[in-house]
A = this chain, B = another copy of it.
Amino acid sequence: MAAEAEFADHGFDGVSVRQIALRADVPVALINYHYGSKEGLYRAIFEMRAPMIIDQRMAGLRLAEMEPDQERKVEMIVKAVLVPNLHMRSTEKNSSYARILAREVADPKSHHRKVIGEFFDPVAYRVTEALHKAMPDRTIEEIHWGYQAMLGVMVYTMADTGRISRLSAGRCDPEDEMTTSTHLVALMKAALLYGRVPKKD
């Protein structure tokens, strides 16, 4: 799908239906015929790609639930959330979708388009549930802020602007899926396990 690449590069408002049609080498009207509208096309991308990532995350969660050791369990939950997305990002065919997803999650205007909530909220609930079960001593707030943190790190890395590579003089490269995952998982695992807010006396 050519639309993915265009949306990924310029955002929903940054690209016109004509640009997409041109790139896909089809008449403009075809898009409206098949998807109803520009937004329909946009949604179709999610409807096609979302299940894949969601399934992987769910599968990771099921594995994590079987792990008895707390520390490992948390690590597996973190991995279940981060790894599928980071992997998708480094896959040539899916990298566009990864950037669209990152953009959409970070876009306040996406609230109107809905789509994130529809597709990803259910799995989000599963994650927070699993986290709370793994660390029952945490408050609900701690769990949710922890999840928020995981998502933020993930999205920011998925949307990579080339900044970390520039700042680190090329030593850190988000394209390197293995190293990236290792670092981010280690960081977020520690954040979740050891990041406690000082309780008010």
Contacts and interface: CB of A to CB of B under 8 A. Distances in A.
Which bucket holds chain A's interface residue count? 35 or more
A194 B126 CA distance: 26
B191 A159 contact: no
A97 B14 CA distance: 20
A95 B69 CA distance: 43
Nearest to A9: B109
Interface in A115-142: 116-117, 121, 124-125, 128, 140-142
A117 to B, nearest CB: 7
Query: For A103, A140, A171, A183, which residue has the most chain B Cβ atoms within 10 angstroms?
Result: A183
Nearest to A15: B13
A163 interface: yes
A147 B167 contact: yes
Contacts of A106: 102-103, 106, 155-156, 159, 161
Contacts of A142: 183
Contacts of A99: 108
A144 B166 CA distance: 11
B144 A168 contact: yes
Contacts of A193: 190, 194
Given A145-B184, A152-B156, A189-B195, 16 more contacts: A8-B108, A10-B109, A11-B11, A11-B13, A102-B106, A103-B108, A106-B155, A107-B161, A110-B161, A111-B162, A144-B168, A146-B187, A152-B153, A190-B195, A190-B196, A194-B194
